[in-house]
Amino acid sequence: MDDGDARDDVGGGGGGRGGRGRWDDGLIARRAGERVALKEEPPADPTPEEDALPPLGGSYGGPLRTRLDALHELVGLSRARVEGDALAEAGRVLDEAAARQRLSSRHTVIAIAGATGSGKSTLFNALAGVPVSETGLRRPTTSAPIALSWSEGAAGLLDRLAVPGRLRRRPLAGGAADAELQGLVLIDLPDHDSAVTAHRDQVDRVLGLVDAVIWVVDPEKYADAALHERYLRPLAGHAEVTFVVLNQIDRLGTEAADLVLDDLRRLLDEDGVALGEHGEPGATVLAVSALTGDGVPELRELVGRFVQERTAPERRIAADIDAAAGRLRSSYVADGRPGLDERAREDFADRLAVAVGAQAAGEAAERVWRRGAIRACGTPWLRLYRWYGRLRAHGSTDPRPESPVEDELTARQRVEQAVRIVADEASRGLPAPWAQAVREAAARGADGLPEALDELTVGLGDPAARPPRPAWWPAAVLLQAVMTLLQVFGALWLVGQIVGVVQPGLLPPVLVMVGGIIGGPLVEWACEGAVKGPARRYGQEAERALREAAAACGRARVLDPVAAELMRYREVREQYATVSGRGTGTMTGVRPSARVVGGSRSGATRMGATRAGAR
């Protein structure tokens, strides 16, 4: 086919030339011409080999199915919390995976991409065995994607790529060589560095949909920044579905070709493109000359094995998931181990206890208990003296000192500070969206918490208002009354002796009165020592009850919502771990070495003479 025939082929197609071509499953089959004959339509009845092929629709299984399900769950759980293009990209991956699953699993779609003048169309024709894509000095030569399918049933895939029917071709019958390529759909793309913006847009669109890509570079532009920075580096994770072909090696000597090939491998390594050796996963690097045919059979063999494995669609989707997971990493991977431990919970409860004055309330209850015991069991003369002292000091007979106003109700600022501290501790190290969600949950719980604690304090009552009385108090009171009566009786006895009513005798009444005078303070001292333990326990119990009530209120309003957000984060973190491939054998952390075809692995040196347009 000369250039004129090629232009007819590309521009008009076979289907619109007076019945010379005909449509079949979206593909145009050109009848045999005088110089070139394209393959005739296969028979309508399927062959036994076609019966053995997998169904047109595919289904994902194993780790890929698990990762897709996890990604779907991750997107659903994160819509209200994670915003941005990363989540939209994850949704796009799910949509594309579902779309690819509905289409033919018999076919592998491989795009041939390259820069202007790299010879990708020539290589496309060499693989086809027939001049299908136009070649020549006019730039850009390829203006639209051209599809070449080695078997039927690829119409849905080509419709998805928006390849028009007039640009769908079939190769010549090539015997065993073509049998190895059964299932291959080869796409010749426009130049990725074309001056026409529409051409670059088509390249970007198709590269996002194909199963694999063959990058064609030449000795002059293999280090071009546009190729490495715009395509190879961002698509470094797609190494398993990437071929890098150094074309036009016929322009170089053997030693120069090896140097260029080694420098190309070095640049790919700098881009992060994993290169495979000895069957390890990674990109394939190959040196060919599409013009002379050197290396083309090896490339056909490699592509044939790749197609017959029928795993390219799943590998491509897995790489897309890896890329989406990489973009989402900052939204799900925390620094350290965020969350609330027991120490943080106890500190929060302590701060709330201080805010409601639990310790002060306990101490007040203990003082009231002891004061009540002393008042009930003390001598009346000492009680009278203390009453007079309080009257002079405070102008009131109330034995309980007046508490400051700020200690009677919950200190709002202390509550707000406690909530801020626990929210900061819970969100420390969390990714920004989830840290914000934790802080918002704590803030919602803090709204109204001081009022709730005030109501709680009032509802529990003042433990110092009516302290309980132990069973031995009546006996102590009776004994103190006896001591007082002894004092009164001794005093009256002495008075009676003085006035002459009672027979004189100084010693007995003095002994009775001294016994009462000494016994009263002894009874009071004994009671004061006896109430220390119960009073302390009563105060501790009052403090504990108020502390537990405040902690329960804080837990219900603040800690539980915060814990719920942390639980949601742990759920999405587990889903993200599944999406990122941990535990599936796809993330080993070990980078494969280089797999190279058509060149030796020697120390690479940069070739300045062949770096036109280099970075």
pLDDT tens for 420-468 read: 999 998 888 888 888 888 999 999 988 888 888 877 777 666 555 566 6
Bridge partners for 170 per DSSP: none
> Given this model, what pLDDT does residue 356 score?
81
User: Is residue 388 classed exposed, middle or buried when 0-12, 13-18 and 19+ CB atoms within 10 A define those classes?
Assistant: exposed
> Given this model, what pLDDT does residue 228 score?
93
Place of tokens 């699993």: 105
The model's pTM: 0.67
The whole-chain average pLDDT of the chain stands at 76
> Given this model, what pLDDT does residue 243 score?
94
> Given this model, what pLDDT does residue 601 score?
37
Q: Name the amino acid, one letter, at 373.
A: A
Q: Which of 135, 262, 234, 246 has its CA nearest to residue 191?
A: 135
Q: Which of 458, 448, 447, 442 has its CA nearest to residue 555?
A: 442
- φ, ψ (nearest 5 deg) of residue 302: -65, -45
Q: Which of 303, 278, 288, 287 has its CA nearest to residue 595?
A: 278
> Given this model, what pLDDT does residue 351 score?
87
Question: Tens of pLDDT along 125-177?
Answer: 888 877 766 554 444 456 788 999 988 889 999 999 999 988 888 876 554 55
Both tokens of 473, joined, read 């108090």
Mean pLDDT of 490-496: 81
Mean pLDDT of 60-79: 87
Q: Which residue has the higher pLDDT, 556 or 23?
A: 556
All domains of the chain in start order, with CATH: 55-333+590-605 (3.40.50.300), 342-472+527-579 (no CATH)
> Given this model, what pLDDT does residue 517 score?
77
> Given this model, what pLDDT does residue 57 score?
43
Cis previous bond, 140, omega within 30: yes
> Which pairs count as long-range contacts for 115-118, CB under 8 Å and 24+ apart, including other chains?
115/191, 115/192, 115/193, 115/217, 115/218, 115/221, 115/224, 115/226, 115/227, 116/140, 116/191, 116/193, 116/194, 117/218, 117/220, 117/221, 118/216, 118/217, 118/218, 118/221, 118/247, 118/248
> Given this model, what pLDDT does residue 359 score?
79
> Given this model, what pLDDT does residue 56 score?
39
Question: Tens of pLDDT along 225-256?
Answer: 989 999 999 999 999 999 999 999 998 888 89
End-to-end Cα spacing for the chain: 38
The DSSP annotation for 251-294 comes to GS-HHHHHHHHHHHHHHHHHHT--B--TT-SSBEEEE-BTTTTB
Both tokens of 72, joined, read 């779907």
Q: State how far the Cα of 300 lies from the Cα of 173, in Å rounded to an integer.
A: 15
Determine what percent of the chain is predicted with pLDDT higher than 90: 25
Residue 184: strand, helix, or coil: strand
pLDDT band at 525 (very low <50, low <70, confident <90, very high): confident
What Cα–Cα distance (Å) separates residue 37 from each residue in 74, 133, 435, 436, 605?
Answer: 53, 15, 66, 67, 46
The angle, 0 to 180 degrees and rounded to 10, between the axes of the packed helices 296-309 and 120-128 is 70
Question: Tens of pLDDT along 288-336?
Answer: 998 898 999 999 999 999 999 999 999 999 999 999 999 888 888 877 7
Q: State how far the Cα of 167 lies from the Cα of 148, in Å rounded to an integer.
A: 8
**Strand-strand pairing, 27-30 and 21-24:** antiparallel
